[in-house]
């Protein structure tokens, strides 16, 4: 039984490896540099929310035997289900491709801190290794590699976090007492958004087949908790810096405070974060292709993940940032996570679809709706930011975002009550 639990943890390490990428390092380090430990509670909240949503997604697949795409089609019908699958699945695959360049460049930036040679060599090397690993198509190999990379990240960022002088009581109080200082609103949302990643819900559903619900819960919970702790350690490491402007500047500040070991730790941690995400983004796109769109032909699946990896490589090697594409995908993905959360809530409460042993208690719905409200604020705020930037408006519209989010969450609660009354 212990071996089964260990195997489950290794399997689910893909999830923590997927959400800790260069974006997480940037966001968490910035939060620490600007606000010390004041935003640590948002990392705790995001970690718990990630566990809850991943658990629901995996439990649907395990209890029904259906992939997430099949469950959507069964719940909403072939017509509506078809469009929902394309909207959600298609947007998430585009998101994987749009951010793959950042993953590869993040891994390259980490290696450059350790060995300063032409960055393009690292970009080619990392892309080639990722291609070989993905071409094998062996999920166990990928899970084992992700476990190693997560361990590397953990050791590296824990080493940096231990260089801070916060007391245990300060860390505990900052972890559980919410506080949003002036100017920290976007970073707070960013910490949540970089932890609860839409494609991870599909990834979790895809890899959960063949597991039991208890084993899934053990592996998932331990893996995501480790990922949450690493994010917290990155935030704590960021407090060693007066400001976060670039990884090179951050490394210089670490070297001044704790010596060259700080540079090595940052380089190793950043490399592990970037390279692991550079593998899991294309891997997730292959899972979505099979589990959402029902594609079983190996050549087609390979074509999809190769395309995602190629987009990242091309933009990474050229240094050109696909800003219009990224803005569009940001807007789409800003709505995808709330929509996906909404669909998961409705599917998991469907008594005709979910057998008794796969259902959750009513108090779980309260947590799910609270999470829905939070990801709605996050998603709509991201869409609002994109619109403000594209249309060159004067300011964002947070009050409208907040009212809309609360209204939709109340509507969702009403939908659940109607389902229960039938």
Q: Is the dihedral of CA 288, 293, 297, 303 positive or negative?
A: negative
Tell me the C-alpha distance between 375 and 339, whole Å: 9
326 CB-side CA count, 13 A: 14
Q: pLDDT at position 378, please? A: 76
- Which residue has 């891994």 as its token pair? 107
Tell me the C-alpha distance between 286 and 192, whole Å: 25
Q: Going from the N-terminus, what domains does the chain have, and what CATH number goes with each?
A: 2-321 (1.20.1740.10)
Q: The tokens of 19 are what?
A: 């959400």
| pLDDT in single tens digits along all 422 residues of the chain | 566 666 766 767 777 777 788 888 888 888 998 898 999 999 999 899 999 999 999 999 899 888 888 888 888 887 888 888 888 888 888 878 877 877 888 888 889 888 888 778 888 999 999 999 888 866 667 777 777 888 888 888 888 888 888 889 999 999 998 888 887 777 887 788 778 888 788 888 877 877 888 888 888 888 889 989 999 999 999 888 877 777 888 888 888 888 888 888 888 888 888 888 888 889 888 888 888 888 888 888 899 999 999 988 887 787 666 555 555 555 556 677 888 899 899 999 988 888 888 888 888 999 999 999 988 887 787 777 767 777 777 776 778 888 888 999 999 888 888 776 56
- Which residue has 């209890």 as its token pair? 63
Tell me the C-alpha distance between 156 and 1, whole Å: 31
Tell me the C-alpha distance between 291 and 200, whole Å: 13
Cα 168 → chain centroid: 28
The DSSP result for 30-94, as a single string, is HHHHHHTTTTHHHHHHHHHHHHHHHHHHHHHHHHH---HHHHHHHHHHHHHHHHHHHHHHHHHHH
Whose CA is closest to 384, among 334, 310, 321? 334
Most distant CA atoms of the chain, gap in Å: 66
SS3 188: helix
Whats the size of the chain, residue-wise? 422
Q: pLDDT at position 321, please? A: 61
Contact 32, 238 (CB under 8 A): yes
Three state DSSP letters for 324-349: HHHHHHHHHHHHHHHHHHHHHHHHHC
Q: pLDDT at position 171, please? A: 92
Tell me the C-alpha distance between 361 and 154, whole Å: 34
| pTM for the whole structure | 0.86
State the Rg of the chain over Cα.
21
Tell me the C-alpha distance between 388 and 324, whole Å: 14
Helices and strands (H and E) in the chain: how many: 16, 0
């Amino acid at each position: 039984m212990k071996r089964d639990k260990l195997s489950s943890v290794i399997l689910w390490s893909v999830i923590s490896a997927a959400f800790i990428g260069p974006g997480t390092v940037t966001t968490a380090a910035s939060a620490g540099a600007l606000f010390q430990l004041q935003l640590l509670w948002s990392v705790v909240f995001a970690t718990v929310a990630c566990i809850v949503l991943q658990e629901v997604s995996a439990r649907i697949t395990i209890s029904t035997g259906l992939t997430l795409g099949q469950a959507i089609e069964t719940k909403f019908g072939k017509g509506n289900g078809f469009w929902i699958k394309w909207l959600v699945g298609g947007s998430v695959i585009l998101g994987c491709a749009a951010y793959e360049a950042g993953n590869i460049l993040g891994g390259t930036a980490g290696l450059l801190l350790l060995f300063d040679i032409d960055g393009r060599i690292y970009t080619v090397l990392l892309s080639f290794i990722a291609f070989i690993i993905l071409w094998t198509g062996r999920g166990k190999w990928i899970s084992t590699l992700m476990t190693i990379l997560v361990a590397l990240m953990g050791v590296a960022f824990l080493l940096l976090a231990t260089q801070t002088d916060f007391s245990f009581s300060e860390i505990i109080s900052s972890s559980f007492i919410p506080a949003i200082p002036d100017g920290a609103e976007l970073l707070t949302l960013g910490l949540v958004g970089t932890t609860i990643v839409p494609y991870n819900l599909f990834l979790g559903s895809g890899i959960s087949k063949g597991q039991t619900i208890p084993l899934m819960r053990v592996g998932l919970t331990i893996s995501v908790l480790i990922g949450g702790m690493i994010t917290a350690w990155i935030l704590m490491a960021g407090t060693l810096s007066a400001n976060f402007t670039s990884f090179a500047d951050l490394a210089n500040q670490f070297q001044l405070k704790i010596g060259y070991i700080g540079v090595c730790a940052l380089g190793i941690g950043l490399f592990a974060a970037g390279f692991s995400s550079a593998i899991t983004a294309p891997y997730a796109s292959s899972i979505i292709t099979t589990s959402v769109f029902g594609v079983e032909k190996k050549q087609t699946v390979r074509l999809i993940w190769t395309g995602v990896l190629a987009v990242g490589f091309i933009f990474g090697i050229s240094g050109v940032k696909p800003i219009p594409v990224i803005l569009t995908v940001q807007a789409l993905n800003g709505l995808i996570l709330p929509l996906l959360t909404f669909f998961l809530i409705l599917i998991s409460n469907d008594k005709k679809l979910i057998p008794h042993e796969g259902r959750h208690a009513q108090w779980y719905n309260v947590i799910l709706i609270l999470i829905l409200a939070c990801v709605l604020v996050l998603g709509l705020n991201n869409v609002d930011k994109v619109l403000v930037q594209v249309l060159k408006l004067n300011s964002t519209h947070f009050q409208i975002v907040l009212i809309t989010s609360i209204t939709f969450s109340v509507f969702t609660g009403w939908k659940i009550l109607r389902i229960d009354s039938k």
